[in-house]
Chain A
Amino acid sequence: AQSVTQLDSHVSVSEGTPVLLRCNYSSSYSPSLFWYVQHPNKGLQLLLKYTSAATLVKGINGFEAEFKKSETSFHLTKPSAHMSDAAEYFCVVSLTGGYNKLIFGAGTRLAVHP
């Protein structure tokens, strides 16, 4: 069965410092992996996606993620946090087969302090 595990429920950083949000996946096949962001009282927005092309994936707002098969990880990083990055982040795997059946991780709340 495919699943994702987000290793931290809360991450707190200072503005201008690096961000690391950790995600491990479980999949029998080569997975399609995504990061979505949810700002307070808003819907979710796709940050970036990995679909078996380049292992380093760049997304919006300066975020990027690296697919590491040997570690079954897909961690999200950003070199320098901004106050506007404070949000809930979801690591997501797409089930094999047809259609966009997405399985969401439990989420990581990112807090950014001045």
Chain B
Amino acid sequence: DTAVSQTPKYLVTQMGNDKSIKCEQNLGHDTMYWYKQDSKKFLKIMFSYNNKELIINETVPNRFSPKSPDKAHLNLHINSLELGDSAVYFCASSQGDRKTGELFFGEGSRLTVL
């Protein structure tokens, strides 16, 4: 049973296209996150939702729009893709809003923009 699952795992697309990455967690957690990992393995938080409410919104271009239809899902939509968007995107979840530092990560979605 996969705790945090992301689809698709790999995505290759052209510049200017719009794409979405979906994330689902079956851990019963209230908080979900999107992280971006660049080619140098550097990880940076993009967004976080707690019970469908946006609680962390880093300096991310507004071409990126997260959507949380319910607390078990957090999707990431990207408009007008650019070369610099190529990265691995990780979804994660944690229990409630307690600051435990323990996040459960999905296996990542590797986006390649040509």
Residues of A within 8 A of B (CB): 32, 34, 38, 41-46, 49, 51, 88, 90, 92, 94, 98-102, 104, 106-107
Contacts and interface: CB of A to CB of B under 8 A. Distances in A.
Interface string B77-102: 00000000000001010100101111
Contact of B31 (A42, A94, A99, A106): A99
Given A32-B101, A51-B101, A100-B99, A106 B41 contact: yes
A71 to B, nearest CB: 21
A99 B101 contact: no
Interface of B: 4, 31, 33, 40-45, 48, 50, 55-56, 90, 92, 94, 97, 99-103, 105-108
A27 to B, nearest CB: 14
A45 B90 CA distance: 12
Contacts of B31: 99-100
A105 B108 CA distance: 18
A98 B107 contact: no
